[in-house]
Structure 1
C-alpha cells in the first residue's frame, strides 16, 4: 500500500478507507474488548463492505459476546485471534520442474515433513532457501478502540502484527489517540454505528437492508440510551429516521437492548438499589458493589459499565451520580454529573481520570471500598 501514499492522501477520508480495502488481500476487523451492540452493528456494516469487494476477513474480539444474539447471528467472530509470521520455504524449480508437492505431520503433531518431487533429475538441498515472511492479513480495521490497548489480548498477543500492518481506526470518542494510518474519529457523532452509517450512505446505499439497518439502529439506540442522552443531536435523530425508512426493526432493538436483561445484571442492579445513598442538598447519589456481590450474581466485573448505565437511567439526569466497586484488587469509581457547574475532571483532578461514554472513571489502589467512598464523596 505504501507506493500509493501520495494518491491516497489526496482523497477524502471515506475514499481513503475504500482505497485501503481495495488494495488489501485479507482484512482483520478488531473490536474493542468490551463488546457492545454499537461495535457489533458497526462490524456487521464493515463486513458487508468487505464482502462487497470480495475481501476475505476475520472479525475478532478478546472474548465472545454472550449477549446480543440478535446481532451476532450475522457474524462469525473469532476470539483469541493469533497472527504469526509465515515461514517461507523457497525452491528454485526452473531446471527440474515440479511434479508433486505434499506434506505429512507425525502422529504426535511435533514434526512436519515437506515432500517435493521434480519432473526430471533431483533437487539439491542447496536449492532451498528458508526465510521469515510477512503476515497472512495485510489490513486491520479497529472499531471503538481509543488506543490499541483497548483491544485487550487481541493486541497484546499480536503486537508485532499491529505495529507492522496498516491500521484504519474508526471511533467516536474524543479520547482516541489516532493511532492508525487512517483515523476516522468523529466525537461529534453519537456512535460507531452513526459513523459507519454515513460511510454507507455516501458510498454503499445499495447494501442497506432490514438486518443491516436494524444493527446500526441498535448501536445508535444503545449509545444514546434510546435518545435520552443530553448530547443528542438533530443529525443523529435524522439518521435514526433514515434507518427506520430502510426497514430497521425498532421494536426488536428496544426489546433486546432494554428489556432482555441478564440475570447477573438484574442481581447486581438489586444490590446497587439496596445500598443507594442520597444527599438531597448536594443532589448527589451513590452506591457500592463488592467482590461478593459479583460472585453471588455469577457476574464478571467487566459488567460494571452496564450496571452504571442502569443506575443513570433510574436516577435524575441533573444529579451527580457515583458508583464504587471493588475491581481486580482495587476500587473502580464511575461518576456522572448532569450539573454543568460540576466539572468532574476538575473535582477529581487528584486521580487518573479517563472519560468514557457514560461519564468518567478511575481506579484507586491500596485503599478499601469504604475509604475510597468517604474520600471521593467529601470532594462534592
Structure 2
C-alpha cells in the first residue's frame, strides 16, 4: 500500500538527524513565520533544524516572531572533514596542531616505531543536513546563493516544498502545494494537524498566524475563505498572540519608516481605471529618513492596505550605496500575475510579488519603462 503525502513527510522527518529549512531572500511574513513554525515543530519532536535565507536580515516589523535571531544568512560547515591515521602498530604519544600563514599543521608523535605515508587518509563525512524543507518559494533558483553555492546538496538530499502559489514548479521530491490555501502558513498548519495535532503550542501558533495575517493583509485579500478564518480562530485558541501580530505588522511603524512613508506618498501616482498604484524612492529619501531597503516591504503593505482599489502596486527605488542599481518591488492581487506583468524585466519572486533589478538606468527611466509595460498588459 502506498503512503499518503503526510505519511511520507512523517517518515522522512523520523529518519532525519538534521533538517535544513530555507526560503527565498525576498520572502516576507509568510516565509519567515512558516519557517520558524516548522523549526519549532521539529524541535518539539526532538529534531535539529536550521533556518537559512540568503543574506538574511530580519525586518524590524517581523523581529517579534519567535527565534528569528537564529536564522542564518548562509550555509556554513556543510561537511566535516576527517584526517585518519592508522595507529594500530604505533600508538599515539603526543598530538598537537598549529595554524600559521593560513596553513594547518598537525603534529603526531608515535609511542613506538614510525608512521608511513599510507597510514594517513583524508575524507569527509556526508552532508550535515539529511532533509530539506523549502518554504514559500516557487523554484530552487529563487533561493539565491544558498542554492547556487550548494546545488549538490539539493540534488543529493530529499526536498519537501511547502507553498500555496500556482507558480510553484513542484521541484521537491514531495510537494505540499495547496492552491486553495491563503498562505504557506496555512499549508503547514494542515501538515502539523495531520502529523501530530498535539504538537501545537503558543509559539508555533503565533508563527503560523503571523504568516496568515501577513499574506492576507490582515484578512483583507479576496482569497480569504471561511476555512482560513476557522484556522485563524483555532490558532488564537492555541495561544497565538493576535493583537501583538496585528500591532507589529500594521500599527507599529518606527519614526524612520514613517519618514520614508511620507516621502513615498509625495511621489505617489495612480491609474484608477486600471487599478495601478506606484511610487518612487530615491537614494536621498533613504538617507534623509535613516532607512534602508529592508523597510520597503512595509511601504508595499501600506500601499495595499490604504488603497483598496489598487490591484497592482509598485515601489521603484535607487538602491542605497553607489553601485548604480535601480530596483522595483511589484505586488499584485491574486487575479493578476506579477511575474507575467513584469516578464520582460527578469522578475524574481512569486506570482504575487516580484523584485526587479536594473543596472545603468536612471530611476525615472526604469519607472516609466515598467509602468508603461504593466499598463499595456492590464488594458488588454
State the TM-score bracket (shorter-chain normalisation): 0.7 to 0.9
Q: Which residue of 2 aligns with 1:189?
A: 181
Q: Which residue of 2 aligns with 1:309?
A: 301
Q: Does 1:368 align with 2:362?
A: yes
Q: Aligned equivalents of 1:116 and 1:145: distance in 2?
A: 52
**Which of 165-174 and 298-307 deviates more?**
298-307
The within-5 A match list for 1:149-168 is: 149-168=141-160
Q: Aligned equivalents of 1:310 and 1:324: distance in 2?
A: 15
* Secondary structure of the corresponding residue to residue 170 of structure 1: strand
Q: Aligned equivalents of 1:277 and 1:30: distance in 2?
A: 36
8 Å contact kept, 2:221–2:333: no
What is the aligned counterpart of 1:78 among 57, 60, 72? 72
What is the aligned counterpart of 2:134 among 142, 164, 169? 142
8 Å contact kept, 1:175–1:355: no
Return the offset for 1:220: 0.7
Q: Aligned equivalents of 2:207 and 2:176: distance in 1?
A: 20
Q: Which residue of 1 aligns with 2:28?
A: 36
Return the offset for 1:109: 6.4
- RMSD value over aligned CA atoms? 3.4
8 Å contact kept, 2:41–2:200: no
Q: Aligned equivalents of 2:353 and 2:96: distance in 1?
A: 56
Q: 1:34 to 1:338 in 2, by over 3 A?
A: closer
Return the offset for 1:250: 0.9
What is the aligned counterpart of 1:87 among 76, 81, 102? 81
Question: What do residues 265-314 of structure 1 show as CA deviations (whole Å, max 9, x unaligned)?
Answer: 32221112112234555555432222322233333335433322211111
Q: Greater RCO between the two (CA within 8 Å, min separation 6)?
A: 2
Q: TM-score, normalised by structure 2?
A: 0.82
8 Å contact kept, 1:42–1:192: yes
8 Å contact kept, 2:164–2:180: yes
Return the offset for 1:91: 4.1
* Secondary structure of the corresponding residue to residue 64 of structure 2: helix
Question: What do residues 45-84 of structure 1 show as CA deviations (whole Å, max 9, x unaligned)?
Answer: 2223322443223222222314233214476223332244
* Secondary structure of the corresponding residue to residue 260 of structure 2: helix
Q: Aligned equivalents of 1:229 and 1:102: distance in 2?
A: 65
Q: Which residue of 1 aligns with 2:58?
A: 65
Q: 1:309 to 1:132 in 2, by over 3 A?
A: same
Q: Which residue of 2 aligns with 1:4?
A: none
Q: Does 1:104 align with 2:131?
A: no
8 Å contact kept, 2:90–2:113: no
8 Å contact kept, 1:318–1:339: no
8 Å contact kept, 2:282–2:318: yes
The within-5 A match list for 1:1-380 is: 10-34=2-26, 36-61=28-53, 62-67=55-60, 68-73=62-67, 76-92=70-86, 95-96=88-89, 102-106=95-99, 110-113=103-106, 115=108, 124-280=116-272, 284-317=276-309, 321-327=313-319, 329=324, 331-335=326-330, 351-352=345-346, 356=350, 358=352, 362-363=356-357, 367-375=361-369, 376-377=371-372, 379=376, 380=379
Q: Which runs of 5 or more residues in structure 2 are unaligned?
A: none
- Aligned pair count reads 369
Q: 1:49 to 1:117 in 2, by over 3 A?
A: farther
* Secondary structure of the corresponding residue to residue 39 of structure 2: helix
Q: Which runs of 5 or more residues in structure 1 are unaligned?
A: 1-6
* Secondary structure of the corresponding residue to residue 75 of structure 2: coil
8 Å contact kept, 1:82–1:154: no
* Secondary structure of the corresponding residue to residue 180 of structure 2: coil
* Secondary structure of the corresponding residue to residue 71 of structure 1: coil
Q: 1:81 to 1:362 in 2, by over 3 A?
A: closer
Q: Aligned equivalents of 2:173 and 2:357: distance in 1?
A: 31
Return the offset for 1:365: 5.6
Question: What do residues 310-347 of structure 1 show as CA deviations (whole Å, max 9, x unaligned)?
Answer: 1111113365544333457454445556697x887777
8 Å contact kept, 1:90–1:128: yes
**Which of 215-224 and 75-84 deviates more?**
75-84
8 Å contact kept, 1:44–1:75: no
* Secondary structure of the corresponding residue to residue 176 of structure 2: strand
